[in-house]
Structure 1
Amino acid sequence: MTLLIVGATGTLGRQVARRAIDEGYKVRCLVRSPKKAAFLKEWGAEVVPGDLCYPQTLQAALEGVTAVIDAATSRPTDSLSIKQVDWDGKVSLIQASLAAGVERFIFFSILNADKYPEVPLMEIKRCTELFLAESGLNYTILQLAGFMQGLIGQYGIPILEGQPVWVTGESSPIAYMDTQDIAKFAIRALSIPETEKQTFPVVGTRAWSAEEIISLCERLSGKEARVTRMPINLLRTIRRMMRFFQWGWNVADRLAFTEVLASGRPLNAPMDEVYQVFGLDPKDTTTLESYLQEYFNRIMKKLRELDYEKNKKKKKKEKRTPFKKVNSQ
């Protein structure tokens, strides 16, 4: 079976590619920049240039492909809008996959997308789910809540460096999941008939609020967080101002997602039946505590090693000094 993975250089996509390669699949990755995808070639994947926003590049990439796993999404640093990538691009990919005779299509969506019609990314995900379901493709939709990997930059690093940690409104508890575990579900779906033309939540072991995560990071790092609260009304005002300028539309759309993060409504779902269908053991799923524990252990060890080397060099320098200090009378 030949897989085409879209978004393979991203946080989730690279884990999907790694898992697929490890399980013996022939993996092809659609990438905008082959130079940035060199690590995928080293792993054993075939890298083909292409872009969701240029439909003419998709046909060649899909030739001979059995299944597509779509892990692509627009990034904050992209010049393209959410609509261009997450709607126009996905519609083109789904249509091209249908024309190419692709047998399976795995799509990553967001949990509770139908409950936030005013948030562009959520509404686009909801519409893409519907479009895919009506396309005629044999699909599986996995609805995610959040990645544990994103918490390092959001909480871990600022707390270690004594920088402000930003919290908005009444934080919504989110069931974060390690992308390696999400990749297990995606690859597993390819071999289980019961997942065909179905939608499943794929979330972590429990939902965590921002305050709980901060408290956990403080305990594991031994450092106190500098928490700064951003009023949700201020962000709404900034968003409305951005909508007046075309260059600000993308920023405004991204700011809208704070409505999800600050709603106070949990982003979580029961997973017992999902584990049964996929034949996976929930005990093998990484918990947030163990994920952050491993991260802080690794960082604190590295900091101790750097401190040791620094002191070692300092002592050597002092020994080489040919003159002793003489106290002045």
Structure 2
Amino acid sequence: MSLLIVGATGTLGRQIVRRALDEGYEVRCLVRSFSRASFLREWGAELVQANLCFPDTLPPCLEGISTVIDASTARLTDSLSIKKVDWDGKVALIQACAEAQIDRFVFCSILDAQKYPQVPLMEIKRCTELFLAESGLNYTVLQLSGFMQGLIGQYAIPILDEQTVWMTGKTAPVAYMNTQDIAKFAVRALSVPETENKTFPVVGPRAWNGDEIIGLCEQKSGKTAKVTRAPLALLRAVRQTTKFFQWSWNVADRLAFAEVMASGNPLTASMDQVYPVFGLDPEETTTLESYLQEYYDRITKKLKEIEYEQAKAKERKKARQRTPFKS
């Protein structure tokens, strides 16, 4: 089966590529830059250059393609706005897929988007779900919460480096999931008829708030976190300021999403009915405890290797400095 993956260089997209290749799919990746996506070609994927914001570039990418998985979203540093990429671009992609008579379309959305119309990205995701449902395409929507990978930069590394962890007064519990596990659902949806024209939550085994994640990182790393809490009012003020500058619009939109995290409302859902439909085993889903343990184990091993190499280098330097007259 020929598969086009959109957003293939992203945190989630690259895991979907890896999973699809491992399962024997012929994978084509829509990318904006060949240089940034060269690793995907090394894995065995075909690369096609296109841009969601230029609809004329999309039809050639769909030639010979039967299925599409869309895991793309605007980057924080993009010069293009979230609306331009996540709405205008997705509408163009869905229309191109309908015109090409694509058999299956899997869309990665956000859980509980309908509850936060004031958050640009979540409202756009909600509208995209509706547009996709009305497109005539055979679709599956996966509603995600948060990625475990994002917690490394937010919590794990600052705590390990004894740097400040920034938080609001309270944080909503989020059922974070490993992107490798999400990729299993995305690829499996293509071969399970029961997922057709339906929407599913795809979230981790348990919801964690910020303080619980910090405690877990402290336990796994043996370090004590330095936490600074920013008032929600300050967050809102920063968001209003960034909206005045075009180059910071994406920052403002992401700060609006941060307000969701500060609301205290859990971002989670039951997966009891989801695993049986997809034919996946919940016991094989990564827990946050095991994910962070593996991360810190890898870091500890790497640090020991570096220390060993440094010690050996010092010994070699001392050996070179010795002379026959210094015994």
Give the TM bin, normalised by the shorter chain.
Answer: over 0.9
**Residues 23-34 of structure 1: pairs in structure 2 closer than 5 A:** 23-34=23-34
**Structure 1 residue 169 displacement after superposition:** 2.9
Aligned counterpart, 1:2:
2
Counterpart in 2 of 1:112? 112
User: What's the offset of the Cα at 1:320?
Assistant: 4.1
Aligned partners of 1:242 and 1:251 also within 8 Å: yes
Q: 2-side partners of 1:97 and 1:223: how far apart?
A: 50
Q: Distance in 2 between matches of 1:243 and 1:151?
A: 26
Rounded to whole Å, the distance in 2 between the matches of 1:301 and 1:274 is 37
The alignment partner of 1:268 has SS state of coil
Q: Would you say the 8 A contact 2:173–2:209 is kept in 1?
A: yes
1:275 matched to 2:292 = no
What's 1:100 paired with?
100
Moved more, 312-321 or 217-226: 312-321
Q: How does 1:1-329 map to 2 (within 5 A)?
A: 1-322=1-322
8 Å Cα contact 2:178/2:286 also seen in 1:
yes
Q: Deviations over 1:131-190 (max 9, x none)?
A: 101111110000000111111111111111111111123101100101110000011111
Distance 2:169 2:136 in 1: 42
Give the distance between the partners of 1:225 and 1:252, measured in 2 at CA.
27
Rounded Cα–Cα distance in structure 1 between residues aligned with 2:42 and 2:244: 46
Shift of 1:31: 0.3
Q: Name the CA distance, whole Å, in 2 between partners of 1:321 and 1:36.
A: 45
Q: Distance in 2 between matches of 1:207 and 1:173?
A: 5
- Structure 1 counterpart of 2:266, one-letter code: P
Runs of 4+ aligned residues of structure 1 deviating over 6 Å after TM superposition are none
Please, which moves more after superposition, 223-232 or 89-98? Answer: 223-232
1:51 partner letter: N
> 2:78–2:250: 8 Å Cα contact kept in structure 1?
no
Output one character per residue of 1:18-75: Cα deviation in whole Å (capped at 9) or x when no partner: 1111111111110000111111111111100001011000000011111110010011
The aligned residue for residue 327 of structure 1 is none
Maintained 8 Å contact 1:169/1:263: no
| Amino acid across the alignment from 2:209 | S
Q: Is the 8 A contact 1:168 1:258 kept in 2?
A: no
Give the partner amino acid of 1:225: A
Supply the AA of the counterpart residue of 2:42.
E
CA displacement, residues 247-298 of structure 1 (integer Å, 9 cap, x when unaligned): 4333211211111111101110000100010111100101111111001001
Give yes or no for contact 1:62–1:100 (8 Å, CA) kept in 2: yes
Gaps of 5+ in 2: none
Please give the secondary structure, in 2, of the residue aligned with 1:84.
helix
Deviations 1:216-266 (A, max 9, x none): 111111111111111110010111122233343332112111111111011
Count of aligned pairs between the two proteins: 325
Output the aligned Cα RMSD. Answer: 1.5
2:77–2:250 contact (8 Å) kept in structure 1: no
- Displacement, 1:319? 4.2
Q: Which amino acid aligns with 1:171?
A: T
In structure 1, C-alpha distance between the alignment counterparts of 2:29 and 2:319, rounded to whole Å:
56
What are the ranges of 5 or more consecutive residues in structure 1 without an aligned counterpart? 325-329
TM-score by length of 2: 0.96
